[in-house]
Structures are given as structure tokens and as C-alpha cells.
């Protein structure tokens, strides 16, 4: 998927928060996103590189892209 297609319906900024808070907040916010829409998560905790993809897979959503820019991890999750 091309980045221009990754327009998030909601953005969750959990920069500065540590595990498990980013996953808990993502679980809650994804409920506000419609099926097929994208949730963007911005995080700085290194453990989110494992925790967010694991949660996404277990919850049955699609992890479309993960990237790092200047120490900020960006996750794009499509709600299924």
C-alpha cells in the first residue's frame, strides 16, 4: 500500500508512555474506528515494535506499515 493511501481515521499519540499503556490505549481507541478504516499509532517505547504487531495480529486487524522517524515509531493498523 502506498503511503498516500494510509490516511488515518484516528491517531493515537502514546509518545513517552511505556508498555503496556500503548496497547491498552490502542485497544480502546480502535473501537472508535470503523471497519476498514486506519488507526495510526505514534510511540516512542522500543517495546511497542513487538507489542503493537502482536496485539494487532491477536485482535485480527491488519498491520499495514511500521516505520521509524526520529525515534518515533509509526504504526498503521486497518481495523478488520
Across the range 55-74, mean pLDDT stands at 96
| Pairing assessment for the beta strands 38-43 and 10-14 based on DSSP bridges | parallel
Boundaries of domain holding 13: 3-78
Q: Is the peptide bond before 20 cis (omega within 30 degrees of 0)?
A: yes
Across the range 47-58, mean pLDDT stands at 97
For the chain, the domain total comes to 1
CATH code at position 49: 3.30.110.40
**Strand intervals (E) in the chain:** 10-14, 38-43, 62-69, 72-78
The answer on pLDDT for 37 being more than 50 is yes
Catalytic residues: 19
The answer on pLDDT for 2 being more than 90 is no
Amino acid at each position: 500500500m502506498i503511503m498516500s493511501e494510509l490516511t488515518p481515521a484516528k491517531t493515537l499519540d502514546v509518545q513517552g508512555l511505556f508498555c503496556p499503556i500503548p496497547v491498552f490505549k490502542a485497544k480502546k481507541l480502535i473501537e472508535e474506528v470503523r471497519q476498514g478504516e486506519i488507526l495510526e499509532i505514534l510511540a516512542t517505547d522500543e517495546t511497542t515494535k513487538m507489542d503493537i504487531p502482536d496485539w494487532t495480529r491477536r485482535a485480527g486487524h491488519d498491520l499495514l506499515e511500521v516505520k521509524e522517524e526520529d525515534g518515533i515509531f509509526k504504526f498503521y493498523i486497518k481495523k478488520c
